[in-house]
C-alpha cells in the first residue's frame, strides 16, 4: 500500500473557497478550457521557489501561460539520450505542439538553487559535490558561469549568477534544433527576465546592449 494520506485541512478549505468563488464566477471559461483545450501564447520557465508567483506577476488567467518550474529556472542543453528530461519535454511540447509565440526564462533574487551553485563552486558545499545529490548535479548546468562572476564585487556575485542562470537557459534553448528553427522562422521569440522578490521589480535582458533594464 502506498503511504498516501488525505490533503491537509487548510488546503481542502482553500479549495472549497476557490470552487465557491473564482471557479463559480468563471465556470463557463473553465468548461471552455476543458472542452477546447489550451492555447497559451507564452511559456515561462521559472524557479520552484514558492515566493515567485508567475501567474500573479503577469496577471494571467487560467489557460494563458504554459509554466514549467524547476530548481533555479535552468534549461539543460539538448541531449536526446533517451533518459528522463522533464524540462526538455516541456520545452518540446510548448514549441512543437502548443506552438507558443514567446518563451520566457524567469530568474529571481535570493534564489536558493543559485546560492547553492555558488557555494558548491566556491568549495563551501561539499554535500552538493556528491554524485548522489540531485540538486548538485542539476546545478552543474550553471557551474561554467561561476567563473564569470569572480571579477565583480563579492556582494554582487550571487545576483550576477542569478541573471547568468537566465542567459545560460536561453543559450541552452538555442541548442534545441526545433527551438532554433522556430526562432529563425519568426514564430517564436525568446525572452529573459529577472524578478526582485522584495521590491516587486522586473528586469528584462536587452541583447542589443547586453544589459538588464527595468520593465
The CATH number of the domain where 163 resides is what?
Answer: 3.40.1050.10
The C-alpha cell that represents 7 in the structure block: 490533503
Q: Are residues 15 and 69 in the same domain?
A: no
* Strand ordering across the sheet containing 211-214: 65-70, 42-47, 102-108, 189-196, 201-206, 211-214
pTM for the structure as a whole: 0.96
The answer to whether residues 179 and 78 belong to one domain is yes
In 10 A of CB 57, how many CB atoms?
A: 16
Backbone angles phi, psi at 208, to 5 degrees: -70, -35
Regarding whether 45 and 30 lie in a shared domain, the answer is no
Kindly state whether residues 151 and 205 are assigned to the same domain.
yes
What's the structural domain count of the chain?
Answer: 2
Residue 130 reports pLDDT greater than 90 = yes
Let me know whether 183 and 130 are in one domain: yes
What's the chain's length in residues? Answer: 215
Residue corresponding to grid cell 485541512 = 9
* Same domain (yes/no): 1, 94: no
What pLDDT digit, counting tens, does each position of 67-100 carry?
Answer: 999 999 999 999 998 788 999 999 999 999 999 9
pLDDT at 167: 98
Annotated binding site for Zn(2+): 47, 49, 108, 111
Binding-site positions: 47, 49, 108, 111
Pairing of strands 102-108, 189-196: parallel
Query: Does 111 lie in the same domain as 33?
Result: no
Q: Are 20 and 166 in contact (CB under 8 A)?
A: no
Position 27 scores a pLDDT of 97
Give the pLDDT mean for 191-204.
Answer: 98
Same domain, yes or no: 78 and 129: yes
pLDDT tens digits for 169-179?
999 999 999 99
Domain that holds residue 21: 1-37
Shared domain check, 141 and 58: yes
Say yes or no: 106 and 69 in one domain. yes
Buried residues in 175-193 as b, exposed as e (16+ CB within 10 A)? ebeebeebbeeeebebebb
In a shared domain, residues 2 and 93: no
Can you read off the three cell numbers belonging to residue 20? Answer: 465557491
Instruction: Provide the grid cell at 145.
Output: 558561469
Mean pLDDT in residue range 184-208: 98
Residue 111 and residue 14 share a domain: no
Amino acid at each position: 500500500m502506498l503511504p498516501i494520506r488525505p490533503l491537509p485541512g487548510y488546503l481542502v478549505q482553500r479549495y472549497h473557497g476557490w470552487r465557491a468563488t473564482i471557479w463559480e464566477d468563471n465556470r463557463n471559461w473553465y468548461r471552455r478550457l476543458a472542452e477546447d483545450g489550451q492555447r497559451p501564447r507564452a511559456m515561462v520557465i521559472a524557479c520552484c521557489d514558492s515566493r515567485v508567483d508567475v501567474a500573479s506577476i503577469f496577471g494571467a488567467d487560467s489557460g494563458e501561460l504554459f509554466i514549467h518550474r524547476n530548481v533555479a529556472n535552468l534549461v539543460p542543453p539538448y541531449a536526446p539520450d533517451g533518459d528522463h528530461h522533464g524540462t526538455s519535454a516541456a520545452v518540446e511540447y510548448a514549441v512543437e505542439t502548443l506552438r507558443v509565440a514567446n518563451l520566457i526564462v524567469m530568474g529571481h533574487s535570493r534564489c536558493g538553487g543559485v546560492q547553492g551553485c555558488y557555494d558548491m563552486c566556491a568549495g563551501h558545499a561539499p554535500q552538493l559535490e556528491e554524485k548522489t545529490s540531485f540538486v548538485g548535479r542539476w546545478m552543474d548546468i550553471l557551474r561554467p558561469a561561476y567563473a564569470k562572476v569572480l571579477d565583480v564585487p563579492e556582494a554582487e556575485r550571487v545576483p550576477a549568477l542569478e541573471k547568468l542562470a537566465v542567459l545560460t537557459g536561453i543559450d541552452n534553448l538555442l541548442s534545441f534544433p526545433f527551438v532554433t528553427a522556430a526562432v529563425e522562422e519568426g514564430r517564436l521569440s525568446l525572452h529573459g527576465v529577472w524578478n526582485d522578490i522584495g521590491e516587486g521589480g522586473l528586469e528584462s535582458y536587452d541583447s542589443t546592449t547586453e544589459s538588464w533594464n527595468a520593465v
